[in-house]
Amino acid sequence: MANNDKVDPKPPGDPWWSQAAAAGEGQPSAKPPQGGSTVSYVGGTVAQTSGMMGMPTEFGRYRVRKQLGGGGMGAVYLVENTELRREEALKVPHFGVGDDPEMRERFLREARAAAQLDHANLCPVYDVGTINGVCFLTMRYLKGKLLSDYTGKPQPPRKAVEITAKLAQALEAAHAKGVIHRDLKPNNVMMCAGVGPVVMDFGLAKQIKSEDQKLTQAGTTMGTPSYMPPEQVKGELDRIGPASDVYSLGVILFEMLTGRLPFKAATVA
């Protein structure tokens, strides 16, 4: 796929998700959180746009356009790479310049692991590093609709299987590189015209075998409880592996077929 990041919609007759994604082309990939967490930055002009408190309008070679979304691990912004004149998505973690060096090293290590991946159904990471002491990564800016837009009601079995098969192929490519996702869920899958489901946000990515594996294992249990396998819920980090992603994929398939999650509870206990 070309690096200009544009995906041409295919003619009628494409799978349903391809047509739906084409209809959503150009819309924000996610709604900005209301009153979301802010991130401390050094230098730059602070943007006055809603939801961007603390984010400079200029961040190194990136010009910040708007906030796309955020979560427990960080915030994501639409930016323009002023050197390449290309739109990209920039992610920054929810820790600042003076926070635990181990957290910063873990973020950079996991981002570099994600940058190894190359598959049509995996969102590519373009760059990883620090600017003014702030960790960041940039990735392809995807246009389409989130898979979570379709999981609120049962989908035709054939369509659900088509999506699951593509996601399984993407995970196979990641696992072959020794990388597991650890937070696979419909909110981390973008339905793109002409391509289908694209897995995003390897923010919790872990290398199966790594010399600095202890940094990953030093972290607390992270993920989305409804899609987490038992070993992840229990915090048994040494047991988390490719099968953990497969479990999450099974939950997604169940949700697409039934319109509901297999388990619902107020806590993970």
Q: Which of 81, 48, 83, 84 has the alpha carbon at shortest distance from 66?
A: 48
Structure tokens belonging to residue 153: 């009601």
Tokens of 214: 């202890």
Phi, psi dihedrals of residue 208, rounded to the nearest 5°? -60, -45
Active site residues: 183
Bin 157: left if φ > 0, else alpha if -120 < ψ < 50, else beta: alpha
Q: Are 253 and 241 in contact (CB under 8 A)?
A: no
Q: Interior CA angle at 241 toward 72 and 219, to 5°?
A: 40
Cα 55–chain centre separation = 20
CA–CA gap between residue 46 and residue 153 (Å, rounded): 41
Q: Which helix (H) or strand (E) holds 138?
A: strand 134-140
Q: What is the CA radius of gyration of the chain?
A: 18
Which residues contact residue 170 at a Cβ distance below 8 angstroms, ignoring those fewer than 6 apart? 119, 121, 122, 197, 198, 199
Please name which of 196, 83, 95, 85 lies closest in space to residue 136, comparing C-alpha atoms. 95
Measured distance CA(264)–CA(223) in Å, rounded: 15
By CB neighbour count within 10 A (0-12 exposed, 13-18 middle, 19+ buried), where does 184 fall? buried
